[in-house]
Structures are given as structure tokens and as C-alpha cells.
Amino acid sequence: NFDRALQLNPGLNIVYYHKGLTTLMLLRDKESTIQYWERYISLVPEDPQYENIKRVIALLKDPNFKLPPEGSDVSIEEALLLGGATLDTRDRQTENKKADHEKKKSTDKIEEIYLDDDL
């Protein structure tokens, strides 16, 4: 129990990190995760993961960031690593075209072929 660990050792600051991680992974509660992790990095600014934690906090605060739903093929870790689902759907629309809409990318004649006898 995280709260019990803090009662026994109030200086055990890593508990705030783990409370945030557990809250995010199990409850998908962005607000509580942000609170725990902001508390953690304020107490332990020398943590080697400080910048990564700050980046994830900023991502969780982004109103466009959505955690993947439970049972999704995309894990929370992947969503955070990739920046989550923050793109506007308009940015992802494509045009449906037949394969012949592009110009030919190759030529029929061979130009400037050099044979290397040393091979």
C-alpha cells in the first residue's frame, strides 16, 4: 500500500511516481497521475527520468491527447511514446485514387550504365 509506505517513511518520494503510474495504468486517471508526478518531480528534480516525466505530464495535460481505450491494440506506453492520439482527424484524411493517377517514375531506356571489370 503506497499510503502506508509514506506513513512509515515520509521521505520515500518514489512512492509518488509509482502512485501516478498505477493510477494511469489501472484507472486511466490523467488528472491524478499529473498531480502525483508533479509532486514527485518537485521533490526529486535530479531523477534521470525528469525530462521524460515532464514530457508525459505535458502530454497528459493536452486536451487533444486521449488515452487508448481499455482492450485497445495500442498500449498506454505506446500512446505516450508516440505522442498519443493528438492529431486532428482532418489531418489524417486521404484521397481515394486509382493506381494510375501518378506519372510513371521509371524510364524505358537504360542510360549511362558503366561496367566495372574489377568486380
In a domain, 92, yes or no: no
Q: Which residue has the cell 482527424?
A: 89
CA proximity to 23, closest of 7, 3, 46, 6:
3
Domain count, the chain: 1
The span from the CA of 60 to the CA of 23, in Å, is 13
Task: Provide the 8-state DSSP code for 34.
Answer: H
Is residue 26 scored above 50 in pLDDT?
A: yes
Task: Answer whether residue 24 is part of any domain.
Answer: yes
Asked if residue 109 is part of any domain, the answer here is: no
In a domain, 41, yes or no: yes
Residue 102, pLDDT > 80, answer no
Rounded Cα distance between 49 and 56, Å, is 11
Lowest mean pLDDT among 26-35, 38-47, 108-117: 108-117
Position 112 in a domain: no
Q: Which domain holds residue 33?
A: 2-86
CA 81, CA 56: separation in Å to the nearest integer?
A: 9
Structural domain includes residue 111: no
33 within a domain of the structure (yes/no): yes
